[in-house]
Structure 1
């Protein structure tokens, strides 16, 4: 019995040494804090600069073959949320994206990566802009570690398709969830 307990204890320690925890951080947005104007949409009644924030990640599993980033508003009054950004096929050697990586022209994304179509109707980052007077909205920035090099998506692939492909190929993920509220006008 002592050998079994000792063996299980050792196994637990060894697996703990190999376990990594994917973590997403940003110099521009913070967990639970209001999104600053620079990262807010410019349009639909909002007057931000619509710049995607800087994002970095650490602790990816060794078997990671690529990464993806998504931004999703779970509180949008649509019945199905709102896709603000998807960036897939990020090479496994990359561990951050700079501020404004999500520009709609795609010139700032990592080589080989693809931005999918947002619910604004095109590829690229679309910042927060909750309806005036609506409750607080939560913006889920998520990094996905994937078991495949490339997902078969392009600039016309919508959020639901990208989300399905990510969930089907994810080996780890981490979120950073800032908020936004727009006072009633």
Structure 2
């Protein structure tokens, strides 16, 4: 891997700015390394492949739903790498338990569903940077939306989900974990 390549910008800094929300996790501290529980479990990785617990607050008035995503802007691709996308989270929900990203949507709140990630799964799949590459950032974002229905289903690509969310985002909170193999 080319360790000299530039670090990608924060992709959310390139979008129209929205108010910030508070996001925290019982599983890791913002800016720190992800624990093994949030690391992939395949391709030589031996992590738990478990989505972290997330809690959020400060959603603005008019919030009708939420989306949760995990994105690696440092993946060696022109488009980064989507690890997790959950749509349809009701406005009354302010947290997800660890493991909510399990395949099958049973651990998600009623009405919420996974969109296929860049691994090809409708679930959370953990950190898995190329061996020897620089430290990667995993941006866990909670998006407060002005609608409870984006008009999407689980078959859309991560890019379509992110594009559609962008036009409905009232506020966003981002919690960053890092990982290097």
TM over 0.5: yes
What TM-score do you get using the length of structure 1 for normalisation? Answer: 0.86
Matches within 5 A, 1:7-156: 21-156=20-155
RMSD: 1.0
Equivalenced residue count is 163
Q: Deviations over 1:49-98 (max 9, x none)?
A: 10000000011001100000000000001111000000011000000000
Contact 1:23 1:59 in 2 (8 A): yes
What's the counterpart of residue 172 of structure 1? 171
Structure ID, larger Rg: 1
Distance 2:29 2:164 in 1: 27
- Contact between 1:74 and 1:80, CA under 8 Å: does it hold in 2? yes
Q: Is there any run of 5+ residues in structure 2 with no aligned partner, and where?
A: 1-18
Q: List, as ranges, runs of 4+ consecutive aligned residues in structure 1 with deviation greater than 2 Å.
A: none
TM-score, normalised via structure 2 length? 0.87
**Any stretches of 5+ residues in structure 1 without a counterpart?**
1-19
**2:116–2:123 CA contact under 8 A, matched in 1:** yes
More helix by share: 1
